[in-house]
Protein backbone atom coordinates (compact mmCIF):
# COMPACT_ATOMS: atom_id res chain seq x y z
CA UNK A 1 0.00 0.00 0.00
CA UNK A 2 2.83 2.42 0.94
CA UNK A 3 2.77 5.20 3.55
CA UNK A 4 0.88 8.32 2.54
CA UNK A 5 3.26 10.85 0.99
CA UNK A 6 2.75 14.24 2.60
CA UNK A 7 4.37 17.67 2.53
CA UNK A 8 4.55 20.41 5.11
CA UNK A 9 3.06 23.61 3.71
CA UNK A 10 2.94 26.94 5.54
CA UNK A 11 -0.11 28.46 3.93
CA UNK A 12 -0.54 31.46 1.70
CA UNK A 13 2.84 32.94 2.66
CA UNK A 14 4.71 29.76 1.67
CA UNK A 15 6.88 30.31 -1.41
CA UNK A 16 6.00 26.76 -2.52
CA UNK A 17 2.59 26.58 -4.17
CA UNK A 18 0.07 23.79 -3.72
CA UNK A 19 -0.20 23.55 -7.49
CA UNK A 20 3.45 22.41 -7.64
CA UNK A 21 3.19 19.54 -5.19
CA UNK A 22 0.90 17.14 -7.01
CA UNK A 23 3.45 17.02 -9.86
CA UNK A 24 5.93 14.92 -7.86
CA UNK A 25 3.61 12.58 -6.04
CA UNK A 26 2.45 14.44 -2.92
CA UNK A 27 -0.83 12.96 -1.73
CA UNK A 28 -1.51 14.90 1.44
CA UNK A 29 -0.68 18.23 3.05
CA UNK A 30 0.60 18.85 6.56
CA UNK A 31 -0.28 22.33 7.72
CA UNK A 32 -1.93 24.51 10.36
CA UNK A 33 -3.84 27.76 10.70
CA UNK A 34 -0.66 29.79 10.98
CA UNK A 35 -2.57 33.08 10.94
CA UNK A 36 -4.47 32.22 14.14
CA UNK A 37 -2.80 33.37 17.34
CA UNK A 38 -1.67 30.52 19.60
CA UNK A 39 -4.29 29.56 22.18
CA UNK A 40 -7.24 30.92 20.21
CA UNK A 41 -10.06 28.71 18.94
CA UNK A 42 -9.72 27.52 15.35
CA UNK A 43 -13.06 28.44 13.73
CA UNK A 44 -14.75 25.97 11.39
CA UNK A 45 -14.93 28.47 8.53
CA UNK A 46 -11.16 29.07 8.69
CA UNK A 47 -10.43 25.34 8.80
CA UNK A 48 -12.68 24.75 5.80
CA UNK A 49 -11.00 27.50 3.77
CA UNK A 50 -7.64 25.74 4.05
CA UNK A 51 -9.11 22.27 3.59
CA UNK A 52 -11.02 23.26 0.45
CA UNK A 53 -8.00 25.01 -1.03
CA UNK A 54 -5.90 21.86 -0.55
CA UNK A 55 -8.62 19.65 -2.01
CA UNK A 56 -8.99 21.93 -5.03
CA UNK A 57 -5.47 20.83 -5.98
CA UNK A 58 -6.30 17.13 -5.72
CA UNK A 59 -4.79 16.48 -2.30
CA UNK A 60 -6.10 16.05 1.24
CA UNK A 61 -5.28 17.83 4.49
CA UNK A 62 -3.67 14.80 6.08
CA UNK A 63 -2.21 16.07 9.34
CA UNK A 64 -2.57 19.19 11.47
CA UNK A 65 0.94 20.21 12.47
CA UNK A 66 0.40 21.66 14.80
CA UNK A 67 -2.40 22.77 17.06
CA UNK A 68 -0.08 24.60 19.48
CA UNK A 69 -0.15 23.84 23.20
CA UNK A 70 0.12 27.22 24.92
CA UNK A 71 2.87 28.00 27.39
CA UNK A 72 0.09 28.74 29.89
CA UNK A 73 -1.02 25.11 29.61
CA UNK A 74 2.53 23.81 29.96
CA UNK A 75 3.13 25.77 33.15
CA UNK A 76 -0.46 25.40 34.46
CA UNK A 77 -1.03 29.13 34.85
CA UNK A 78 -4.40 30.63 35.93
CA UNK A 79 -5.25 30.96 32.21
CA UNK A 80 -4.98 27.20 31.74
CA UNK A 81 -8.68 26.34 32.12
CA UNK A 82 -9.78 28.78 29.41
CA UNK A 83 -7.06 27.63 27.01
CA UNK A 84 -7.89 23.96 27.56
CA UNK A 85 -11.49 24.68 26.61
CA UNK A 86 -10.25 26.47 23.50
CA UNK A 87 -8.13 23.46 22.62
CA UNK A 88 -11.09 21.10 23.03
CA UNK A 89 -13.25 23.33 20.84
CA UNK A 90 -10.57 23.42 18.16
CA UNK A 91 -10.33 19.61 18.21
CA UNK A 92 -14.09 19.33 17.80
CA UNK A 93 -14.04 21.86 14.96
CA UNK A 94 -11.23 20.01 13.18
CA UNK A 95 -13.11 16.73 13.49
CA UNK A 96 -16.29 18.35 12.16
CA UNK A 97 -14.29 19.29 9.07
CA UNK A 98 -12.97 15.76 8.58
CA UNK A 99 -9.48 16.15 10.09
CA UNK A 100 -8.31 13.15 12.12
CA UNK A 101 -4.62 13.55 13.01
CA UNK A 102 -3.09 16.30 15.18
CA UNK A 103 0.65 16.56 15.85
CA UNK A 104 1.68 18.60 18.90
CA UNK A 105 4.68 19.04 21.15
CA UNK A 106 5.25 19.78 24.82
CA UNK A 107 8.66 21.45 24.57
CA UNK A 108 8.96 24.44 26.91
CA UNK A 109 9.47 27.87 25.27
CA UNK A 110 11.82 26.76 22.48
CA UNK A 111 10.23 24.49 19.88
CA UNK A 112 13.54 23.34 18.34
CA UNK A 113 17.12 24.58 18.30
CA UNK A 114 19.89 25.00 15.71
CA UNK A 115 23.01 27.16 15.88
CA UNK A 116 23.59 27.49 12.12
CA UNK A 117 20.98 27.76 9.40
CA UNK A 118 23.59 27.60 6.62
CA UNK A 119 25.97 24.73 7.30
CA UNK A 120 27.83 24.00 4.06
CA UNK A 121 28.48 20.39 3.04
CA UNK A 122 31.44 19.26 0.93
CA UNK A 123 29.07 19.03 -2.02
CA UNK A 124 28.06 22.68 -1.69
CA UNK A 125 24.62 21.81 -0.33
CA UNK A 126 23.43 23.55 2.82
CA UNK A 127 21.52 22.36 5.86
CA UNK A 128 21.09 23.25 9.51
CA UNK A 129 23.53 22.44 12.29
CA UNK A 130 23.43 22.23 16.06
CA UNK A 131 26.76 22.74 17.84
CA UNK A 132 26.49 22.26 21.59
CA UNK A 133 29.44 24.50 22.50
CA UNK A 134 28.08 27.30 20.30
CA UNK A 135 24.68 26.93 21.95
CA UNK A 136 26.39 27.13 25.34
CA UNK A 137 28.11 30.34 24.21
CA UNK A 138 24.70 31.76 23.35
CA UNK A 139 23.16 30.60 26.64
CA UNK A 140 25.96 31.61 29.01
CA UNK A 141 27.53 34.69 27.45
CA UNK A 142 25.07 36.21 24.94
CA UNK A 143 21.71 35.54 26.55
CA UNK A 144 23.39 35.57 29.98
CA UNK A 145 20.76 33.33 31.53
CA UNK A 146 21.28 33.32 35.31
CA UNK A 147 23.42 30.39 36.48
CA UNK A 148 23.56 28.96 32.94
CA UNK A 149 27.19 27.83 33.29
CA UNK A 150 26.12 25.37 35.99
CA UNK A 151 24.21 23.37 33.37
CA UNK A 152 27.33 22.53 31.35
CA UNK A 153 30.53 20.56 32.06
CA UNK A 154 33.53 22.81 32.64
CA UNK A 155 35.16 21.77 29.35
CA UNK A 156 32.04 22.87 27.44
CA UNK A 157 32.01 26.22 29.28
CA UNK A 158 35.67 26.76 28.35
CA UNK A 159 35.03 25.98 24.67
CA UNK A 160 31.94 28.20 24.74
CA UNK A 161 33.99 31.09 26.13
CA UNK A 162 36.53 30.70 23.34
CA UNK A 163 33.75 30.70 20.74
CA UNK A 164 32.16 33.78 22.30
CA UNK A 165 35.48 35.63 22.44
CA UNK A 166 35.96 34.99 18.73
CA UNK A 167 32.58 36.41 17.71
CA UNK A 168 31.83 39.97 16.66
CA UNK A 169 28.87 41.77 18.19
CA UNK A 170 26.94 41.32 14.95
CA UNK A 171 27.65 37.57 14.99
CA UNK A 172 26.47 37.33 18.59
CA UNK A 173 23.23 39.16 17.79
CA UNK A 174 22.62 37.07 14.68
CA UNK A 175 23.09 33.82 16.61
CA UNK A 176 20.64 34.96 19.31
CA UNK A 177 18.12 36.19 16.77
CA UNK A 178 18.26 32.95 14.77
CA UNK A 179 17.77 30.74 17.85
CA UNK A 180 15.02 32.81 19.47
CA UNK A 181 13.13 34.31 16.53
CA UNK A 182 14.02 33.02 13.04
CA UNK A 183 13.64 29.29 13.71
CA UNK A 184 10.48 29.84 15.75
CA UNK A 185 8.62 32.64 14.02
CA UNK A 186 6.91 30.56 11.34
CA UNK A 187 5.62 27.97 13.84
CA UNK A 188 3.82 30.14 16.40
CA UNK A 189 7.01 31.10 18.21
CA UNK A 190 6.73 32.40 21.76
CA UNK A 191 8.83 35.53 21.08
CA UNK A 192 8.26 37.73 18.04
CA UNK A 193 10.58 40.02 16.13
CA UNK A 194 10.83 42.72 18.77
CA UNK A 195 13.65 44.93 19.97
CA UNK A 196 13.42 43.25 23.37
CA UNK A 197 13.46 39.65 22.14
CA UNK A 198 16.29 38.53 24.45
CA UNK A 199 14.65 40.04 27.53
CA UNK A 200 11.29 38.57 26.55
CA UNK A 201 12.89 35.16 26.05
CA UNK A 202 14.52 35.30 29.49
CA UNK A 203 11.14 36.13 31.00
CA UNK A 204 9.52 33.04 29.44
CA UNK A 205 12.41 30.89 30.64
CA UNK A 206 12.06 32.27 34.17
CA UNK A 207 8.47 31.01 34.33
CA UNK A 208 9.85 27.47 34.43
CA UNK A 209 12.15 28.10 37.39
CA UNK A 210 10.01 25.87 39.63
CA UNK A 211 9.25 23.22 36.99
CA UNK A 212 11.42 20.12 36.76
CA UNK A 213 10.95 16.97 34.68
CA UNK A 214 8.49 15.37 37.12
CA UNK A 215 6.32 18.48 37.26
CA UNK A 216 6.33 18.98 33.49
CA UNK A 217 5.35 15.33 33.09
CA UNK A 218 2.43 15.93 35.45
CA UNK A 219 1.37 18.91 33.36
CA UNK A 220 1.49 16.84 30.16
CA UNK A 221 -0.55 14.11 31.83
CA UNK A 222 -3.13 16.69 32.97
CA UNK A 223 -3.32 18.10 29.44
CA UNK A 224 -4.02 14.65 28.00
CA UNK A 225 -6.48 13.85 30.79
CA UNK A 226 -8.46 16.89 29.64
CA UNK A 227 -8.22 16.59 25.85
CA UNK A 228 -8.00 12.84 25.19
CA UNK A 229 -11.70 12.21 25.90
CA UNK A 230 -12.53 14.81 23.25
CA UNK A 231 -10.07 13.23 20.82
CA UNK A 232 -11.65 9.82 21.42
CA UNK A 233 -15.15 11.22 21.04
CA UNK A 234 -14.22 12.94 17.76
CA UNK A 235 -11.98 10.25 16.31
CA UNK A 236 -8.84 12.37 16.38
CA UNK A 237 -5.40 10.85 16.87
CA UNK A 238 -3.08 13.01 18.94
CA UNK A 239 0.63 12.36 18.33
CA UNK A 240 3.35 14.02 20.37
CA UNK A 241 6.52 15.13 18.58
CA UNK A 242 9.84 14.20 20.23
CA UNK A 243 12.02 16.91 21.73
CA UNK A 244 14.44 18.50 19.27
CA UNK A 245 17.21 18.08 20.23
CA UNK A 246 16.30 15.35 22.75
CA UNK A 247 18.16 16.60 25.81
CA UNK A 248 17.67 19.49 28.27
CA UNK A 249 18.41 23.02 27.05
CA UNK A 250 18.38 26.40 28.78
CA UNK A 251 17.70 24.81 32.16
CA UNK A 252 14.39 23.48 30.84
CA UNK A 253 13.26 19.87 31.31
CA UNK A 254 12.67 17.49 28.40
CA UNK A 255 10.00 14.80 28.64
CA UNK A 256 9.68 13.32 25.12
CA UNK A 257 13.24 12.31 24.32
CA UNK A 258 13.72 8.62 25.05
CA UNK A 259 12.02 5.24 24.93
CA UNK A 260 11.48 5.50 28.69
CA UNK A 261 9.71 8.86 28.23
CA UNK A 262 7.26 7.36 25.75
CA UNK A 263 6.75 4.27 27.89
CA UNK A 264 5.79 6.56 30.79
CA UNK A 265 3.47 8.62 28.59
CA UNK A 266 1.60 5.66 27.13
CA UNK A 267 1.32 3.94 30.50
CA UNK A 268 -0.28 7.10 31.88
CA UNK A 269 -2.92 7.17 29.16
CA UNK A 270 -3.43 3.88 27.36
CA UNK A 271 -5.87 5.09 24.72
CA UNK A 272 -4.54 4.60 21.18
CA UNK A 273 -5.60 8.18 20.50
CA UNK A 274 -2.56 9.05 22.63
CA UNK A 275 0.11 8.48 20.01
CA UNK A 276 3.53 9.34 18.69
CA UNK A 277 4.92 11.37 15.83
CA UNK A 278 7.93 9.21 14.99
CA UNK A 279 10.67 11.70 14.06
CA UNK A 280 13.83 9.85 13.02
CA UNK A 281 15.90 13.03 12.94
CA UNK A 282 15.08 14.17 16.46
CA UNK A 283 15.33 10.74 18.09
CA UNK A 284 18.62 9.82 16.37
CA UNK A 285 20.58 12.61 18.06
CA UNK A 286 20.81 10.49 21.23
CA UNK A 287 23.11 7.51 20.83
CA UNK A 288 21.11 5.61 23.47
CA UNK A 289 17.97 5.80 21.31
CA UNK A 290 17.56 2.63 19.25
CA UNK A 291 15.21 3.90 16.55
CA UNK A 292 14.25 0.48 15.21
CA UNK A 293 13.46 -0.76 18.73
CA UNK A 294 11.40 2.36 19.48
CA UNK A 295 9.49 2.01 16.20
CA UNK A 296 8.74 -1.66 16.92
CA UNK A 297 7.74 -1.09 20.53
CA UNK A 298 5.33 1.76 19.85
CA UNK A 299 4.34 0.83 16.29
CA UNK A 300 0.60 0.68 17.02
CA UNK A 301 0.73 4.27 18.31
CA UNK A 302 2.68 5.83 15.44
CA UNK A 303 0.13 8.10 13.77
CA UNK A 304 2.53 10.35 11.85
CA UNK A 305 6.09 9.97 10.61
CA UNK A 306 8.91 12.48 10.04
CA UNK A 307 11.81 10.94 8.11
CA UNK A 308 15.09 12.81 8.35
CA UNK A 309 18.75 11.94 8.85
CA UNK A 310 21.72 13.46 10.66
CA UNK A 311 25.47 13.09 10.99
CA UNK A 312 27.27 13.60 14.29
CA UNK A 313 29.99 16.17 14.92
CA UNK A 314 30.89 15.04 18.41
CA UNK A 315 28.81 14.65 21.53
CA UNK A 316 25.49 16.51 21.28
CA UNK A 317 26.50 18.19 18.00
CA UNK A 318 25.13 17.24 14.59
CA UNK A 319 24.11 18.48 11.19
CA UNK A 320 21.18 17.47 9.00
CA UNK A 321 22.29 15.18 6.19
CA UNK A 322 20.69 13.66 3.10
CA UNK A 323 17.68 11.50 3.91
CA UNK A 324 19.37 8.16 3.17
CA UNK A 325 22.87 9.16 4.31
CA UNK A 326 23.48 9.39 8.04
CA UNK A 327 23.18 7.62 11.35
CA UNK A 328 19.55 6.57 10.79
CA UNK A 329 19.13 3.08 9.33
CA UNK A 330 16.32 4.29 7.10
CA UNK A 331 15.79 0.88 5.52
CA UNK A 332 15.14 -0.84 8.86
CA UNK A 333 12.98 1.98 10.21
CA UNK A 334 10.85 2.10 7.07
CA UNK A 335 10.51 -1.69 7.05
CA UNK A 336 9.06 -1.62 10.59
CA UNK A 337 6.57 1.06 9.55
CA UNK A 338 5.46 -0.79 6.43
CA UNK A 339 5.05 -4.01 8.41
CA UNK A 340 2.89 -2.10 10.90
CA UNK A 341 0.79 -0.72 8.07
CA UNK A 342 0.18 -4.26 6.79
CA UNK A 343 -0.76 -5.38 10.29
CA UNK A 344 -3.31 -2.56 10.59
CA UNK A 345 -4.85 -3.44 7.25
CA UNK A 346 -5.13 -7.10 8.29
CA UNK A 347 -6.77 -6.06 11.59
CA UNK A 348 -9.24 -3.80 9.82
CA UNK A 349 -8.01 -0.64 11.53
CA UNK A 350 -9.12 2.62 9.95
CA UNK A 351 -5.79 4.40 10.43
CA UNK A 352 -3.86 2.64 7.67
CA UNK A 353 -2.62 5.72 5.80
CA UNK A 354 0.28 6.30 8.24
CA UNK A 355 1.28 9.63 6.66
CA UNK A 356 4.95 10.51 6.44
CA UNK A 357 6.72 13.62 5.28
CA UNK A 358 10.33 14.23 4.28
CA UNK A 359 11.37 16.24 7.32
CA UNK A 360 13.62 19.15 6.40
CA UNK A 361 15.95 18.84 3.45
CA UNK A 362 19.24 19.95 1.98
CA UNK A 363 19.29 23.26 0.15
CA UNK A 364 20.49 22.36 -3.35
CA UNK A 365 20.37 23.63 -6.95
CA UNK A 366 17.70 26.29 -7.48
CA UNK A 367 16.79 26.26 -3.77
CA UNK A 368 19.50 28.88 -3.37
CA UNK A 369 17.50 31.25 -5.58
CA UNK A 370 14.23 30.83 -3.69
CA UNK A 371 13.08 31.99 -0.29
CA UNK A 372 11.97 29.29 2.15
CA UNK A 373 11.63 28.71 5.88
CA UNK A 374 14.72 27.25 7.60
CA UNK A 375 14.95 23.54 6.78
CA UNK A 376 12.16 23.62 4.21
CA UNK A 377 13.60 24.07 0.68
CA UNK A 378 11.65 22.71 -2.29
CA UNK A 379 14.16 20.66 -4.26
CA UNK A 380 16.03 19.19 -1.28
CA UNK A 381 12.81 17.92 0.26
CA UNK A 382 11.56 16.68 -3.10
CA UNK A 383 14.81 14.69 -3.43
CA UNK A 384 14.24 13.19 0.02
CA UNK A 385 10.63 12.31 -0.79
CA UNK A 386 11.66 10.54 -3.99
CA UNK A 387 14.52 8.66 -2.29
CA UNK A 388 12.23 7.41 0.46
CA UNK A 389 9.54 6.46 -2.06
CA UNK A 390 12.08 4.38 -3.98
CA UNK A 391 13.34 2.67 -0.84
CA UNK A 392 9.76 2.05 0.19
CA UNK A 393 8.92 0.37 -3.12
CA UNK A 394 11.89 -1.97 -2.75
CA UNK A 395 10.88 -2.93 0.78
CA UNK A 396 7.27 -3.46 -0.29
CA UNK A 397 8.35 -5.80 -3.09
CA UNK A 398 10.50 -7.72 -0.60
CA UNK A 399 7.62 -8.03 1.85
CA UNK A 400 5.46 -9.49 -0.91
CA UNK A 401 8.11 -12.13 -1.65
CA UNK A 402 8.77 -12.95 2.02
CA UNK A 403 5.10 -13.26 2.85
376 is catalytic: yes
The pair phi, psi for residue 215, each rounded to 5°, is -70, -40
DSSP string, 91-139: HHHHHHTT--EEEE---SS-S---SEEEEEPTTS-EEEEE-HHHHHHII
List the catalytic residue out of 119, 152, 204, 376: 376
DSSP string, 317-333: -EEEE-TTSSSS-HHHH
Q: CB-hemisphere CA count at 13 Å for 28?
A: 21
303 is catalytic: no
CA distances from 15 to 42, 52, 283 (A): 24, 19, 29
35 is catalytic: no
List the catalytic residue out of 87, 279, 303, 319: 279
List the catalytic residue out of 241, 244, 261, 303: 241
234 is catalytic: no
359 is catalytic: yes
Give dist(CA 204, CA 227) in Å, integer. 24
List the catalytic residue out of 132, 303, 306, 323: 306
306 is catalytic: yes
Instruction: Specify the 3-state DSSP secondary structure of 218.
Output: helix
Instruction: Specify the 3-state DSSP secondary structure of 193.
Output: coil
**Is the bond into 339 cis (omega within 30 degrees of 0)?**
no
The residues annotated as belonging to the active site are 241, 279, 306, 359-360, 376
Amino acid sequence: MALEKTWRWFGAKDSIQLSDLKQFGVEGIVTALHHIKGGAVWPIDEILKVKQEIESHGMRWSVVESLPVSEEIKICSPKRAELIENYKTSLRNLAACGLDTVCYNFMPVLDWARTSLHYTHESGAESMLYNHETFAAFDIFILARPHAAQDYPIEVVEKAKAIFDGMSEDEQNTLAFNIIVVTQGFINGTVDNAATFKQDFLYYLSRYSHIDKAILRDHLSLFLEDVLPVAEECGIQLCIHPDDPPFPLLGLPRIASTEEDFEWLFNQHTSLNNGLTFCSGSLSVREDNDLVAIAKRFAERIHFVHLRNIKKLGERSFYESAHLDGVVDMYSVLKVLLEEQRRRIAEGRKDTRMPFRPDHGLKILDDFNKKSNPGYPLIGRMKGLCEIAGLEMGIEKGLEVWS
